[in-house]
Structure 1
Amino acid sequence: MPGHVARFLLGALFALFLLFLYGPTITIGILSFQGPDGGLTFPMNGMSTVWFTRLFQPQAVGDLGAAMTRTLGLAAMVTVVTVVVSLAAGMAFRHRFAGSSALFILTIASLIVPSILVSLGVGLLFTLMEWEPAWYSSAFGAQLTWTLPFGLLIMFAVFNRFDRSWEEAARDLGATRWQGFWHVVLPIIAPSVIGIALFGFTLSFDEFARTLLTAGSGNTLPLEILGMTTTVTTPVLYALGSVSTAVSLLVIGGAILGARVMGRRRGR
């Protein structure tokens, strides 16, 4: 097969893969601009932004505004704790200590436990302890079992190829351990820390299974969407999908911009 034909076929295959990957998101984005009398499928009945306006009005099922607020708050909490704990654990695991292997295995084991079982276990624990489950307590803890292992694995990969001679040079110049970490280690690994923050935010933002039995009476956005899909709904659901996708893209764009700024400062 000629080389240009092979390249064309591979390019076409990749284009089909991208269409399969992003086609549903694009379809939802288009359908969110249905006219006031539009339905949930094609063909579209006019074009308007009325469903984005109705998104912030009381719905027949649930409260999207409160659910979005809870979801963003929970994602922010999970992001901060994931970054701090992963960074601290990564620094700690640079040196062997008693029980480090068992602790690592226990941390990673949560990735292979079915999500719904984690949710059930945390929910049962709160019930047995007679604690009130809520999105900021039980759901927060359940989601950390999902985000922390990813953050820890990223930190391990970063520090496995980290050149300790940079730290040693800082110590030789009189820097304390804290100064060496703040002025040498952290600027170098900052892009990876931002990556952990992105993992924490995105994994928490759309987490459903680990939140299902732990959120209490205050639904997060994924749970609110589930309630909308089990009843007669409107294209406002598509508008919600477009807005949540835009929020995710803004967070990712901000993180990439921050990483580039840090990279330029480090270069100077």
Structure 2
Amino acid sequence: MLKPHHLRDARPAGFWPLALVFGLFLLFLYGPMLTIFVLSFQGPEGGLTFPLRGLSLHWFHKLAEGLGTVDIGAAFRRSLMLGTVVTGLTVVLSVLAGLAFRKKLRGGDALFYIAVASLIMPSIIVSLGIGLQFRLVDTGLKELLTAMGADNLLEGYGTALGLLTSALGAHLTWTLPFGLLIMFAVFNRFNPAYEEAARDLGATPWQGFVHVVLPLIGPSIVGIGMFGFTLSWDEIARTSQAIGDVNTLPLELQGLTSTVTTPAIYALGTVTTVVSLLVMGLALCAAALLGRRSKARRT
């Protein structure tokens, strides 16, 4: 028997207080980002606070011209390249680890805890440790070159610290544990009957992985890639002591907060946030598409 319309739409007494708390939480979470978005579109007379003065793309044009001696374009390209490499390595290593941990490994539990231990370590400590390791490498290589009498190589040697060495390692200590946790959860729920069916039909292990396993875990791989890029894109603490003599975009942005006193800093923040949102949007679309294809194959 259907209930009257007014009874079906009645909400519990605690609904509106909880809805108010949730709304305030969303405002607290996204309010600063929305404020920066709005203030970045001010006119030439705009300042760092409200009220809004005009509406234009003036500060984005100023951003394109450069902010003093800081090369925003170069920092942007460095962050983009680092994020792309981190994403690729995070995806590949997470998938391989997930496949390996499907079988019982001697010492596997200890290896897992070691892999995710960096999540509970303070980020700045991880960065300092990696930076110290690479400085020890520098010292060792210089002593080796000196002992070998390779003066030409010694003069041209700078440091092992760099974007795709120490900074890459620092970012992987942050992104890889998330990828491992996601992939382990995926394979814990993975039905091996699909692989057994492929083997019964004569598929090799490689064919079974490419044509059966990979399409089924495709949405999760896209999610790992999204985590890898977005976590790397805005990372500061783990990069600060391990980057060497160059800066990523977040580090440049952090430095500019004390020197740039115009809405151009807001324009830069808007651009970096839009890049993250675009990556997230593309990842969600790709995951949804792969999910539909996977469902179609199972049916």
What TM-score comes out, normalization by structure 1 length? 0.96
> Does residue 27 of the first structure (1) align with residue 35 of the second (2)?
yes
Match of residue 47, structure 1, among 24, 33, 55: 55
Q: State the one-letter code of the partner of 2:111.
A: L
**8 Å Cα contact 1:142-1:214 kept in structure 2:** yes
**8 Å Cα contact 1:62-1:227 kept in structure 2:** no
Task: Show CA shifts across 1:130-172 (max 9, x none).
Answer: 1431122110011101111110011111111111111111111
SS of equivalent to 2:231:
helix
> Does residue 74 of the first structure (1) align with residue 91 of the second (2)?
no
Q: C-alpha separation between the residues in 1 aligned to 2:238 and 2:61? A: 31
SS of equivalent to 1:89:
helix
Q: State the one-letter code of the partner of 2:67.
A: Q
1:183-262 counterparts in 2 under 5 A? 183-262=211-290
Match of residue 150, structure 1, among 178, 198, 207: 178
Match of residue 205, structure 2, among 177, 189, 194: 177
**8 Å Cα contact 2:79-2:233 kept in structure 1:** yes
User: Could you tell me which residue of structure 1 aligns to residue 70 of structure 2?
Assistant: 62
Q: C-alpha separation between the residues in 2 aligned to 1:257 and 1:52? A: 28
User: Could you tell me which residue of structure 2 aligns to residue 129 of structure 1?
Assistant: 137
User: Could you tell me which residue of structure 1 aligns to residue 104 of structure 2?
Assistant: 96
User: Could you tell me which residue of structure 1 aligns to residue 126 of structure 2?
Assistant: 118
Match of residue 163, structure 1, among 191, 198, 216: 191
Query: Runs of 4 or more off by more than 3 Å in structure 1?
Result: 2-5
SS of equivalent to 1:96:
coil
Task: Show CA shifts across 1:207-240 (max 9, x none).
Answer: 0011001111210011001110122431111111
**8 Å Cα contact 2:223-2:287 kept in structure 1:** no
**8 Å Cα contact 1:61-1:227 kept in structure 2:** no
User: Could you tell me which residue of structure 1 aligns to residue 22 of structure 2?
Assistant: 14
Structure 1 regions of 5+ residues with no counterpart? none
Give how far 1:41 is off. 0.6
Tell me how many residue pairs correspond in the alignment: 267
Q: C-alpha separation between the residues in 2 aligned to 1:241 and 1:58? A: 14
Q: State the one-letter code of the partner of 2:262.
A: T
Structure 2 regions of 5+ residues with no counterpart? 1-9, 139-158
**8 Å Cα contact 1:75-1:205 kept in structure 2:** yes
Task: Show CA shifts across 1:112-132 (max 9, x none).
Answer: 111111111111111111143
Task: Show CA shifts across 1:2-43 (max 9, x none).
Answer: 945432222222111111111001000000011112111111
> Does residue 108 of the first structure (1) align with residue 136 of the second (2)?
no
**8 Å Cα contact 2:186-2:220 kept in structure 1:** yes
**8 Å Cα contact 1:34-1:49 kept in structure 2:** yes
**8 Å Cα contact 1:228-1:237 kept in structure 2:** yes
**8 Å Cα contact 1:61-1:228 kept in structure 2:** no
Give how far 1:50 is off. 0.5
User: Could you tell me which residue of structure 1 aligns to residue 166 of structure 2?
Assistant: 138
Task: Show CA shifts across 1:44-83 (max 9, x none).
Answer: 2222111111111121252111111111110000000000
